[in-house]
Amino acid sequence: MAERSDRAPARWRRPLLRWLDGVEAGWAVPLLIACFVASWTLYLAIAYAGGGLHPDTLEAWTLGRNFAFGYHKHPPLMGWVAASWTLIFPVSDVSLQLMAMVNAGLALFFVDCIARQFVTGHKRILVLLLLMLTPAYQFHAQRFNANAVLLATWPLATWCFLRAFETRSVFWAVAAGCATALAMVGKYYSIFLVASFALAALAHPARRDYLTSASPWISVATGFAVLSPHIYWLATTGASTFDYALAHANGNALSSIDEVKNFLLGLIAAISVAAVIWVLISGTRLKQFPADFVAMSSGLRLLFYVAIGTIALPVPTSLAMGTDLPSLWALQGLFLFVVLIVCGARYPIERFYTVNVTVIVAGVALVAVLVAAPIHAAYRNVNGYEEARNLYAQAASELTRQWHELTGESLRAVNGDDSLAFATAFYSPDHPHYARPFEHQYDWGLPRKTTLDRGWAALCFKGQDYCGRWMEWVSSRAGTFVRREFTVQASLWGRPGLSRDVVVLMVPPRASGEAPPEISAEEFGASKRSPD
């Protein structure tokens, strides 16, 4: 049937076949990725209309406002990306949703750079289509954080390493070092990718040629050079990111076994739809898999060792250290297995199947945009989110209004519940700074006197006892302050939703009516010390 369809395709298939003809011409893949980014950005805009951004995304933007070579919890790449994006694009929900999907689109582009080393034509498209049927490039990507930023950096680093291994040229060796360092400043979990590169180079039959060349040593030197500012930051700040990472190592042997089991099952579930579709495409040709594996090309064999390393290395680490091991930490590595399966198949795949998978991917996107997104938005408007994110913008707007009414000045610093503080910094037209150094993010310390003197506000949802007790402590030492409560209500397309009470504490500037002096980034924040 597939062969007959390729010889005499139905009329509705012909535009898609012409599109597949454009793969090697250079326009078909960019068109697919652009449509993917556009459709899923539209999904996010509808599904989260009135819903606000995820706190992780707001935190990434907040971090990036103060450039540094490292931050308290994570390496700095996510902050750099968010800050760079908003230098060009507006500070809004749709803007950062587009940023998240562009990151996913870049990830797919770099995957195609790898796939084109082994296959041509519509098989390249098939690799991307199967990946689009995993949750990594839409739902995982939209929560832009230290995990999501690896979606693009891992395939970029893998592509550069593959080219450096095969060509042993200076250019690709430098590129591999830079890309690997970029992955490391995304999240330290990338150490498993780096270790997989090393193991793959050692296990590959061509290891002698590679290791005796200058290529690996140029990559290592370049990687350390690019990482050196971050390494210096670690050495001079106490390496708080390591402390945060080690905070996940609090389990025992039994809990670690459960973590590993859930890790593997989660990855299997994430790739299951793509796997089922591949089985349907291959049919009885699956029995050729052993022969195809034996005949695997040199480059694919290198990717095979890398893929195995990215799964095998975290497992014993978790068992030995008792660490958490969520499967979402490894979603960015699923592309390796899809590339191996599709590009490793030596038999031809009829274009009939690629067209069918294209229709499935397009159908999923249409249903998501036209059906799932409005239903999700309506449901969340009434039932809310665990973090109450569909009340963020309203709380920020009301606090800003009351601050202007009280002081007649712009709001310069905000604190309180982290999610609400991040949201106020983002959604308030004044864009106040998050007024707590990230090294004291969970200390709930007393703001510095100089911070209070320049004007400061904090907000919590009513019922957050820990935040309420902290407000009482601050107000007892703040001198002049105003404490108020107000109610905010979610709204979606003119329809009211759930509501919650918000408690705010406002400390007006000491010299009311005068322009406050400039504040350095270091002076914004809470300290565990008493007031000066």
> Which pLDDT belongs to residue 440?
54
Residue 516: predicted pLDDT:
40
Quote the pLDDT of residue 443.
Answer: 64
pLDDT for position 525: 38
CA dist 211 → 164, 197, 198, 275 (Å): 11, 12, 10, 35
Same domain, 64 and 159: yes
Count of domains for the chain? 2
pLDDT of residue 451: 78
Residue 156: name the closest of 190, 124, 133, 195 by CA.
190
Indicate the pairing of strand 433-434 with strand 456-461. Answer: unpaired
- Domain co-membership, 351 together with 442: no
Q: What is the pLDDT of residues 42-76, one digit of tens each?
A: 999 999 998 889 999 999 999 999 888 988 888 99
Instruction: State residue 71's pLDDT score.
Output: 86
Instruction: Provide φ and ψ at 81, rounded to 5°.
Output: -65, -50
**Is 350 in the same domain as 404?**
no
Q: Which of 370, 401, 426 is the last residue of a domain?
A: 370
Share in percent of the chain as helix, strand, coil (round to 5): 65, 10, 25
* Per-residue pLDDT at 137: 95
Indicate if 480 and 349 belong to the same structural domain.
no
- Give strand pairing partners of 98: none
Residue 403 shares a structural domain with residue 323: no
39 and 176 in a common domain: yes
SS3 18: helix
Do residue 317 and residue 366 come from a single domain?
yes
Task: State residue 333's pLDDT score.
Answer: 96
Domain annotation covers residue 376: no
> What's the pLDDT score for residue 19?
95
Same domain, 366 and 399: no
Q: Residue 437: what pLDDT?
A: 55
Q: Order across the sheet with 413-416: list the strands.
A: 433-434, 413-416, 456-461, 495-507, 482-492
Contact criterion met (CB below 8 Å) for 163 and 175: yes
List the chain pLDDT tens, one digit each, 532 residues. 777 777 788 888 899 999 999 999 999 999 999 999 999 999 999 999 988 899 999 999 999 998 889 888 889 999 999 999 999 999 999 999 999 999 999 999 999 999 999 999 999 999 999 999 999 999 999 999 999 999 999 999 999 999 999 999 999 999 999 999 999 999 999 999 999 999 999 999 999 999 999 999 999 999 999 999 999 999 988 877 777 776 667 767 777 888 899 999 999 999 999 999 999 999 999 999 999 999 999 999 999 999 999 999 999 988 888 888 899 999 999 999 999 999 999 999 999 999 999 999 999 999 999 999 999 999 999 998 988 999 999 999 999 999 999 999 999 999 988 899 999 999 999 999 987 655 555 566 777 777 788 888 999 999 888 888 888 888 877 778 889 999 999 999 889 999 999 999 999 987 644 444 333 333 333 333 333 3
The answer as to whether 17 is a domain residue is: no
Range of the domain at 434: 389-527
Q: Are residues 331 and 453 in the same domain?
A: no
Give the pTM. Answer: 0.91
454 located within any domain: yes
User: Which domain-ending residue is among 370, 400, 425?
Assistant: 370
Do 246 and 362 reside in the same domain of the chain?
A: yes
Last residue of a domain, one of 317, 343, 370: 370
Q: Do 365 and 393 lie in a common domain? A: no
Check residue 372 and give its pLDDT. 96
Q: Is residue 23 part of a domain?
A: no
Q: Which DSSP string corresponds to 340-372?
A: HHHHH--S---HHHHHHHHHHHHHHHHHIIIII
Task: Give 482's strand partners.
Answer: 506
Residue 375 lies in a domain: no
SS3 267: helix
Give yes or no: residues 335 and 484 share one domain: no
